[in-house]
A and B are shown apart, each in its own frame.
Chain A
């Protein structure tokens, strides 16, 4: 049996590490030396738990989706991260990191964002703690996720457009890294996913682990056993999946399903299905799977979903997929839109476009009638209404 465990240099097997220029070393090292100790501090735990409960609204419900269950012929449970304050799982991590930043004496917070959910979650905790907040966001994403840009500004954050490359999440991340290099003393970089140099992938996974921690006792209450047969989650960088899997990583009774964005189709040239199209390399300080040319140039990905439009995946997921512990499924733009509409009308829940990919994967899976499936409903779809409206108005439905 494969044990999923990070080593002290930040590797899951051969994936991970911290491939960073010396200019970032002092900050990343400060974090590495402190994060485990700080997170284990009872005072930290107390504040973290209290904020998750009273501010975020945890525990998030584990909802038995009756109509989806009938449709798929299995027992489908939805882990309702969409009901968190700010509308997605992202806040679990930003609450954790803002408490760390505060303890490290940082006064200025930077973040990157794709769909804007992480940007909003970061702007929110900065407002909560009275810290200055700068969010880097690709120009393309600023356009397609306008409601979240407005929310960040309302919360007092400065949204800085990333104008290089594909002007999406990858480029926003590059800009945030540069900002950190130029501001090494007073700034903490809140990375929003399980990507980046060690200790970020492990730290973010630990903050998101609350998802599976709750799933365990919620399942125990509901079905009398604390594990499902499968967990389905979408993967861009992979933070909601890391959290949903975390307490089941070494429990091989549980199938782990990682759903990637196929864009216009895996072989269309317009895709973000990293585990299928990617090869081993280095992106944003981490050795992982990424989409690149033979010469090691990082390829511009594509997905309708800004949160999945990323050419890499977190090193944990690269390890899980490489070792066949997790299964990767890819879902096209069209299938994700179709699934979003279906879930909205079956269950009265409008999922985020990212999450809609996880739902669409249910169509590609097989299961027995007694199988218990947990879908991580990572975010709500309010931010995607423009895309949904366009879909409703298009010919695709006729």
Chain B
């Protein structure tokens, strides 16, 4: 069983998924970040493949991507780092990036390298479902990679069902109409949207992302679905922390999890 499927079969709620940009803050940060996220209590890690033109992302992730590319990050190096990280932890790993990166690497070669490096899933926000079915699905399935898709407040119920049907991984519930990096509170309008998705009664695990930035927003998001994704807030916490990536990573995860553990007690 894929590590992702196992996670969601064993843990139904409060799943903490943390995103980081590979190559940021330093070129060799990937392995220490993954090890420390896992040890500090994250359940799932999204590894961002830095891209020059990340159109679904906000300034924080774009900035970290630019630094990562300047640091010299490449897909070849990233696969090596992930292989190394996999020797230390069994935490599920999902790669997130843009389809052009996969295309240039070669789709078949990419899924092969990802699977060999111990990657469990992929998120490619700009790969549309038609092209996914036509060009990519068989390759990903054959490599045992689960592919997740995004849904937004503007995605119709019919389309959500369709996307959920072709999504082999968890559903990425984009919390609001925005790019990544916001940090606002969860509004009544968002609650209504979450209720609408819940009412569809889909079998897929669901994680809320975009705008989840601290313990409070994480806790609220977890009330609705299986868990939530934090990205930009973690990137901000790593800024200027090249020398203490490990400690900064642990402190961040504790800051998210410990208040919620405390709240339960």
Q: Which residues of A contact B (CB under 8 A)?
A: 9, 17-23, 25-27, 164-165, 170, 174, 177-178, 181-185, 279-285, 292-298
Contact = CB atoms under 8 A, between A and B. Distances in A.
B16 interface: no
A19 B152 contact: no
Nearest to B56: A21
B74 A295 contact: yes
A295 B50 CA distance: 10
Interface of B: 51-53, 55-56, 58-59, 62, 66, 69, 74-75, 98-105, 125-128, 130-131, 149-152, 154-155, 159, 163, 174, 177-179
Contact of A285 (B52, B126, B151, B177): B126
Nearest to B153: A184
Given A22-B155, A295-B75, A296-B104, A165 B52 contact: yes
Contact of B101 (A19, A170, A174, A295): A295
A297 B69 contact: yes
A285 B55 CA distance: 9
12 contacts: A22-B155, A26-B155, A182-B177, A279-B104, A283-B100, A295-B101, A295-B104, A296-B51, A296-B98, A296-B100, A296-B105, A297-B51
B62 A23 contact: no
A170 B149 contact: no
Contacts of B128: 17-20
Nearest to B74: A295
Contacts of A27: 154
A181 B98 CA distance: 16
Contacts of B99: 19, 282
Contacts of A279: 104
Contacts of A184: 154, 177
B126 A165 contact: no
Contact of A25 (B52, B62, B74, B155): B155
Contacts of B56: 21, 23, 181
Contacts of A170: 53
B155 A284 contact: no
A280 B107 CA distance: 14
B224 to A, nearest CB: 18
A377 B31 CA distance: 56
Given A181-B56, A284-B55, A294 B178 contact: no
A9 B100 contact: no
Nearest to A166: B52
Nearest to B126: A19
A127 to B, nearest CB: 28
B187 to A, nearest CB: 15
A281 to B, nearest CB: 5
A178 B101 contact: no
A22 B179 contact: no
Nearest to B178: A182
A373 B28 CA distance: 58
10 closest residue pairs by CB, A with B: A296-B104, A26-B154, A21-B56, A21-B125, A282-B100, A22-B150, A296-B101, A297-B52, A296-B100, A298-B52
A66 B157 CA distance: 63
A21 B126 CA distance: 4
Contacts of B151: 22
Contact of B53 (A26, A174, A183): A174
A30 to B, nearest CB: 10
A64 to B, nearest CB: 44
A27 B152 CA distance: 12
B207 to A, nearest CB: 15
A178 B58 contact: yes
Q: Which of A17, A25, A280 gathers the greatest number of chain B CB atoms within 10 Å?
A: A25
Given A26-B152, A178-B55, A282-B98, 17 more contacts: A19-B131, A21-B56, A22-B152, A22-B163, A23-B177, A23-B178, A26-B154, A165-B52, A165-B53, A174-B55, A178-B58, A181-B178, A282-B100, A282-B103, A295-B74, A296-B102, A298-B53
A217 to B, nearest CB: 40
A295 B126 CA distance: 17
B100 to A, nearest CB: 4
A182 B52 contact: no
B239 to A, nearest CB: 17
A385 B222 CA distance: 59
B154 A25 contact: yes
Nearest to A279: B104
Given A282-B98, A282-B100, A20 B69 contact: no
B118 to A, nearest CB: 21
A177 to B, nearest CB: 5
A22 B174 contact: yes
A19 B127 contact: yes
A21 to B, nearest CB: 4
Nearest to A181: B179
Nearest to A300: B52
Contacts of B104: 279, 281, 292-296
A389 B28 CA distance: 50
B10 to A, nearest CB: 28
Nearest to A296: B104
A281 B150 contact: no
B177 A21 contact: no
B102 to A, nearest CB: 8
A294 B106 CA distance: 10
A177 B66 CA distance: 18
B154 to A, nearest CB: 4
A164 B52 CA distance: 10
B130 A21 contact: no
Contacts of B52: 165, 297-298
A177 B55 contact: yes
A164 B125 contact: no
A165 B62 CA distance: 9
Contacts of A181: 56, 177-179
Contacts of B155: 22, 25-26
